[in-house]
A = this chain, B = another copy of it.
Amino acid sequence: MISLSLGEIVRTLGGKVEGNAETRIEKIGTLEGADASSIAYLANERFLGALHATHAGAVILATDQCNATQLPRIVCGNPHAYFARVTALLHPVANAVAGIHPRATVDSSATLGSGVSVGPNVVVGCDAHIGEGVSIGANCYVGDGVTIGAGTRLWPGVVIYHECRIGERVVLHAGVVIGADGFGNAWDIDHWVKVPQIGRAIIGNDVEIGANTTVDRGAIDDTVIEDGVRLDNLIMIAHNVHVGAHTAIAACTGIAGSTRIGRNCRIGGAVGIAGHLTICDNVEVGGKTLITKSIAAPGSYSGGYPFEESRAWRRNAIQIRHLDEMARHIKQLEKRLALLERKDP
């Protein structure tokens, strides 16, 4: 177990200590769950009550909250990000053991940088390039001609199809599939003809992709995920989609073919975005929204249908199918009323 004093932490991560800088920290915790050896953080002032009740040994606070407690504390500009970095200090990711497991199957034409770790039952195809310090977990498949940048980690069971490119310091969680064929089909009289998918999937640097998410390869051009993007679990990125840098997308969302998502967007869970759209930078989309048109102005967009008790929902949902009629009815009432009003002095 790692133990750090507040003074040691600020020497590494910046920020300022208020109170006893010798306070030693071994763990991170929530305000509610922390004990005397733990450090917690105040996300925002809604949690001031929890701050006052906490048993944490120290806390991380924003500058404008620096006197909200007398506990030993680190004051900084961004407590959430600071807390993330303290967590990483106290819980460093275990380095996979460098070397190729005897049960890995690595093609002799593949090139591997120094310090690469290849787990058991991994398959690496011909002409693959694996950068320095890459860690490939058990049972992964890395296709022919794939490039993986330095410091990237594949958890077990990841599949990367031929010719795809993965950036540096990327994290791919278990079950991720990169570069499967896009859904390209041409109808011919009475059956579908497969449209071969000859583009690639290109993943930038510092991207993290959650478990069982799929990013299809492009039809002709490439599918692109830019630097710093965060994709949660069970997301579908279709062929030729382009996701701008530092955009975050929550779980169960699907983005249809050829759509361009801007930079710094925040897309909620279970969102559906139709194909061939352009979403500009800095767009937020609420959970379960269906986006059917391009969005040209930054801002927050939503379209989740409200839930209610099922009996009430049935009564109200029925009226949805009469809305157009209802609107016309209101217009007629308006006209008839105006007529009466005119007659009436």
Interface residues of A (CB under 8 A from B): 28-30, 33, 78, 80-81, 83-85, 87-88, 91, 93, 101, 103, 105, 119-121, 123, 137-139, 141, 155-157, 159, 161, 171, 173-175, 177, 180-181, 183-196, 198, 206, 208, 210-212, 214, 216, 220-221, 228, 230, 232-234, 236, 238, 246, 248, 250-252, 254, 256, 269-270, 272, 274, 284-292, 299-324, 326-327, 329-330, 333-334, 336-337, 340-341, 343-344
Q: Are A301 and B307 in contact (CB under 8 A)?
A: yes
Bound-state Cα–Cα, A340 to B308, Å: 37
Q: Are A214 and B221 in contact (CB under 8 A)?
A: no
A234 nearest in chain B by CB position: B236
Chain B residues, Cβ within 8 Å of A329: 330, 334
Q: Given that A228-B192, A290-B288 are contacting pairs, would A30 and B220 also be in contact in the complex, using a CB cutoff of 8 Å?
A: yes
Q: How many copies does the complex hold?
A: 3
Q: Given that A180-B173, A317-B305 are contacting pairs, would A248 and B195 also be in contact in the complex, using a CB cutoff of 8 Å?
A: no
Sample of 14 A–B contacts (CB below 8 Å):
A120-B123, A161-B174, A175-B177, A181-B210, A236-B252, A252-B252, A254-B270, A270-B270, A272-B287, A303-B305, A303-B313, A316-B320, A329-B330, A340-B341
A33 nearest in chain B by CB position: B221
A92 nearest in chain B by CB position: B196
Q: Given that A177-B175, A269-B254 are contacting pairs, would A206 and B191 also be in contact in the complex, using a CB cutoff of 8 Å?
A: yes
Q: Given that A91-B196, A216-B233 are contacting pairs, would A299 and B309 also be in contact in the complex, using a CB cutoff of 8 Å?
A: yes
Chain B residues, Cβ within 8 Å of A285: 307
5 new A-B pairs (CB below 8 Å) besides A103-B121, A333-B334? A87-B196, A93-B196, A157-B159, A159-B175, A300-B310
| Nearest-Cβ distance from residue A11 to partner chain B, whole angstroms | 19
Q: Are B301 and A180 in contact (CB under 8 A)?
A: no
Q: Are A198 and B87 in contact (CB under 8 A)?
A: yes
Chain B residues, Cβ within 8 Å of A291: 307
| Nearest-Cβ distance from residue A87 to partner chain B, whole angstroms | 4
Q: Are A183 and B250 in contact (CB under 8 A)?
A: yes
Q: Are B183 and A173 in contact (CB under 8 A)?
A: no
| Nearest-Cβ distance from residue A317 to partner chain B, whole angstroms | 5
| Nearest-Cβ distance from residue A46 to partner chain B, whole angstroms | 11
Q: Given that A177-B212, A186-B78, A314-B302 are contacting pairs, would A156 and B123 also be in contact in the complex, using a CB cutoff of 8 Å?
A: yes
A185 nearest in chain B by CB position: B230
Q: Are A195 and B84 in contact (CB under 8 A)?
A: yes
A319 nearest in chain B by CB position: B323
Chain B residues, Cβ within 8 Å of A286: 310, 313
Bound-state Cα–Cα, A211 to B141, Å: 14
Chain B residues, Cβ within 8 Å of A81: 186-188, 193
A139 nearest in chain B by CB position: B139
